[in-house]
A and B are shown apart, each in its own frame.
Chain A
Amino acid sequence: MSNFTTECYQNEYLPLGVSEVNAIVTVTSDGAPGQAEQPEAAEIVIIDTSGSMGTPRRKINAARQATKVAIDCIRDGVAFGVIAGTDVARTVYPTHSTLAIAAPKTRSEAKRALDRLDASGGTAIGSWLTLAGALFATVPGRTCHAILLTDGENQHETDEHLDGVLAEVEGRFQCDCRGVGTDWMVSELRRIAAALLGSVDIIAEPEAMADDFHALMQAAMGKATRNVSLRLWTPQGATVAFVRQVAPAIEELTGRGVQVNPLTADYPTATWGRESRDYHVCINVPPREVGDEMLAARVSLVEGEEPRAQALIKAIWTDDRRLSTHINREVAHYTGQAELADCIQQGLEARKEGDLASATFKLGRAVQLATESGNEGTMKLLQAVVQVDDAATGTVRLKHEITPLDEMSLDTRSTATVRVGSAAT
């Protein structure tokens, strides 16, 4: 059974009359595999086989190869399958409507089935997810995870249909989404990944797909704990302003809480391997008097119903301004990282709409924030889109020619954050 530990970073001192309490909670799992009770996994790879995947041919070839690499990572005993998606979904392997159990024989059968895969047809991602959900339902009790690869927009079904499917399959499996090339829509895949607690990323060149699938499947096999929720208790009269994961990437959780009782809600965090994540919790509590202390939130990690670790977020009111005006370093850092992601997404949106003044301002602010926090990955992506004159003040010029790849890479990876202390000192 994995061990969870928590650390809480906050300035618990508040000036009189202030009700907002902010804290960063770091949760670390040692990823120790469970003993006998370790949950078995189920894995599905969903490959887009629409007509566009065949032009150029190397796209479908690379997808085939990457899926084979992923299948080789699946350990014996794991239920698995492969779905080919066009305007309809069909199972490539196994051929009956359930999943196969991984073993040398089934793995080689699956790889042979992939060789017969060809590209023709449209794109209806909702139908792919529906089939994945139905296949996962045949292996109850397993930790279900899928990898979804597409190269285009969801053209053959409506947004409403996709939303309906997401509501249907949400919580039944986790899904990492990958877009290859530049003809897919970042917002669409982000919506799917957010609902299904997975990641979203761009694969620029088809040949990079195999490495990525390898890493995704390795990580999935390393998940030792599933069904973990962040449980948040707040006192009477308090309201949760927001709960968001802020590292390794920003994920808004606020709307995803499931009420356990009037004072407690659970926020899903899916599966955990050996990893560490940071959460920013912001609570509004009824203000009290000088010297009063109260517990503003109790944050615990629960596996099923079993509490595994907890952190306490406190509030103490003081009239000593030296205590109350200090902003905690971690809170300030992640507030900045969230603003960075917002600035990039708003800046790119403004640029698309032709509002170049807003785009310049927003992306300039993003450059400033990325520099301050030492977020080199994001800074590098920003430099492909803007000419930086002065990073410290956020003075930039928009580049005239921006490749779709640079723009989509920046958009997709805008939510990646760095931890405190990354800035060069």
Chain B
Amino acid sequence: MTVTCPGGHESRATDYCDQCGAPIPAGPPAAGATEVLPALDEIDTSPAARREPCPACGAPRSGDDRYCEGCGFDFHGPPPAAGAWEAVVTADRAQFDRLAVAGMSFPAGYAQRKFVLAEGENRIGRSRGRPDELAPEIDLAMEPADPGVSRLHAALERRSDGVVVLRDLGSTNGTMVNDDPVPIAPETPLPLTDGDRVRVGAWTTITLRKR
């Protein structure tokens, strides 16, 4: 019997996560924890589970919830528009090993996180968790948080013509695309295509996917 901590770890201890030490809220998960999904291979896809996946992001629907816990998709509303984009956040061991930042350890059991891109700007960053701040849409603050990601690091803009454009927002450690070790120039839009990998921080890789 395990519980999932706000950082997405499976923990056998139910008071504090036995991986990262984060407090585990009692009862149903807090609102802030909703974009945490189990890794894809951990989702029970057997017919017995009978859980209808979200047509927008693929997260399993819990019970008869109207809105998807993964992306907020309205199950009662129209089907998702074709050509929707999603950003899949994973921890990349190869990237971590290549950068080899001293004194940092690779997060074990990092749960994949998915964000569906809204039209307009989707900022990537780490919120401080303050009530007065406007948290980035793609908020990577949850544990295990990548310390190399800036507060406001970069942005993915989904333009009305269906093109997604990446822009570095003047981050401390830069934003890399695919296997290019040279960071992109700050504040310079770069169009991306399906499957492009945006690399930020010590291990975070954000893969752009077209649905």
> Contact flags (1/0) for A230-253 with B, using CB distance below 8 Å?
000111111000000000000000
Chain B residues contacting A289 (CB-CB under 8 Å) are: 128-129, 141
Which of B20-28, B49-57, B84-92 interfaces with chain A?
Answer: B20-28
The answer to whether A263 and B128 have CB atoms under 8 Å apart is no
With an 8 A cutoff between CB atoms, is A204 at the interface? no
Distance, CA A285 to CA B21, complexed state (A): 10
Residue in A295, A296, A312 with the greatest tally of chain B CB atoms within 10 Å: A295
The answer to whether B20 and A236 have CB atoms under 8 Å apart is yes
With A294-B20, A295-B21 already in contact, the answer to whether A236 and B128 are too (CB < 8 A) is no
- Interface of B, secondary structure class, is loop
**Who on chain A is nearest to B145 by CB?**
A288
**Distance between B163 CB and nearest chain A CB, rounded to angstroms:** 35
With an 8 A cutoff between CB atoms, is A308 at the interface? no
With A293-B23, A294-B23 already in contact, the answer to whether A236 and B105 are too (CB < 8 A) is yes
With an 8 A cutoff between CB atoms, is B13 at the interface? yes
Q: How many residues of A contact B (CB 8 A)?
A: 19
The answer to whether B16 and A295 have CB atoms under 8 Å apart is yes
With an 8 A cutoff between CB atoms, is A292 at the interface? yes
The answer to whether A236 and B16 have CB atoms under 8 Å apart is no
The answer to whether B21 and A296 have CB atoms under 8 Å apart is yes
Distance, CA A292 to CA B129, complexed state (A): 9
> Contact flags (1/0) for B122-133 with A, using CB distance below 8 Å?
000000111000
Distance, CA A295 to CA B147, complexed state (A): 19
With an 8 A cutoff between CB atoms, is A298 at the interface? yes
**Who on chain B is nearest to A234 by CB?**
B21
Q: What's the count of A-B pairs with C-beta under 8 Å?
A: 49
Within 8 A of B (CB), among A284-308: 285-286, 289-296, 298
**Who on chain A is nearest to B13 by CB?**
A298
Chain B residues contacting A292 (CB-CB under 8 Å) are: 129
With an 8 A cutoff between CB atoms, is B107 at the interface? yes
Distance, CA A236 to CA B147, complexed state (A): 14
Chain A residues contacting B60 (CB-CB under 8 Å) are: none
> Contact flags (1/0) for B115-145 with A, using CB distance below 8 Å?
0000000000000111000000000010010
Partner of B108, one of A236, A293, A294: A236
With an 8 A cutoff between CB atoms, is B95 at the interface? no
**Who on chain A is nearest to B105 by CB?**
A237
> Contact flags (1/0) for B1-45 with A, using CB distance below 8 Å?
000000000000101111111110000000000000000000000
The answer to whether A294 and B128 have CB atoms under 8 Å apart is no
Chain B residues contacting A296 (CB-CB under 8 Å) are: 21
The answer to whether B21 and A235 have CB atoms under 8 Å apart is yes
Distance, CA A289 to CA B147, complexed state (A): 11
Chain A residues contacting B108 (CB-CB under 8 Å) are: 236
Chain A residues contacting B129 (CB-CB under 8 Å) are: 289-292
The answer to whether B23 and A295 have CB atoms under 8 Å apart is yes
**Distance between A134 CB and nearest chain B CB, rounded to angstroms:** 42
> Contact flags (1/0) for A34-63 with B, using CB distance below 8 Å?
000000000000000000000000000000
In the A-B complex, the 8 residue pairs with the closest CB atoms: A235-B21, A295-B16, A295-B21, A294-B21, A235-B20, A289-B128, A293-B23, A236-B20
Q: List 7 A-B contacts (CB under 8 A).
A: A235-B19, A263-B19, A285-B21, A286-B147, A292-B129, A295-B22, A298-B16
16 further interface pairs, Cβ-Cβ under 8 Å (given A286-B147, A296-B21): A234-B21, A235-B20, A236-B107, A236-B108, A238-B21, A285-B21, A291-B130, A293-B22, A293-B23, A294-B16, A294-B21, A295-B16, A295-B17, A295-B21, A298-B16, A312-B15
